[in-house]
Amino acid sequence: MNKTDKIWLELMRIGRVSGCHQMESRSFFLAGCQFPLCARCTGIFAGYIIGVLAFIRRFRIAVPVLFMMCIPCAVDGLRQEWSEYESDNVKRFFTGALLGVSYIQLLPRLAAFVFHYLL
C-alpha cells in the first residue's frame, strides 16, 4: 500500500468516526477516489469554512435568515427519508453548505446569549 492509499484510508476513517454514512451513491469522487465525507457533510464542512471566514470579516447574517437557511437541508433530507424522492449530490452539497454557514454564524451568538443571560 502506497502513502496516498494510507492517507485516503485515514481520511475515510476520520469521516466515518465523525458520523458520516459515506454512502458511495451520495458522495463525490475525485480521480476515482471517494471523498471521505458524503456530499451533504462535504457541504456542511465547506459551510463551516465560509461561515468562519465571513465571521472573521465581520459579516453577520440576521438570526431569522440563519434559521431559514437550515430549512432547505431539513426539507431535502426529510423528503428523501419519508418518500421515494432521491436528492442529487449537488443539492445535498448546497443545502449542507447553507446549514454549515448557519451553524457557524449562530454558535457565537448562542454562546454570548448563554454567558450573558444564563450564567
β-partners of residue 82 are none
Look at the chain and report how many structural domains it folds into. 1
**How far does Cα 55 stand from its chain's mean position?**
17
pLDDT in tens, 21-78: 988 889 999 888 889 999 999 999 999 999 999 989 999 999 999 999 999 999 999 9
Query: 23-28 contacts: CB < 8 A, separation 24 or more?
Result: 26/89, 26/92, 27/89, 28/89, 28/93
The domain in which residue 63 lies consists of 3-118
Quick one: pLDDT at residue 90? 96
103, 48 contact by CB (below 8 A) = yes
Q: pTM for this structure?
A: 0.86
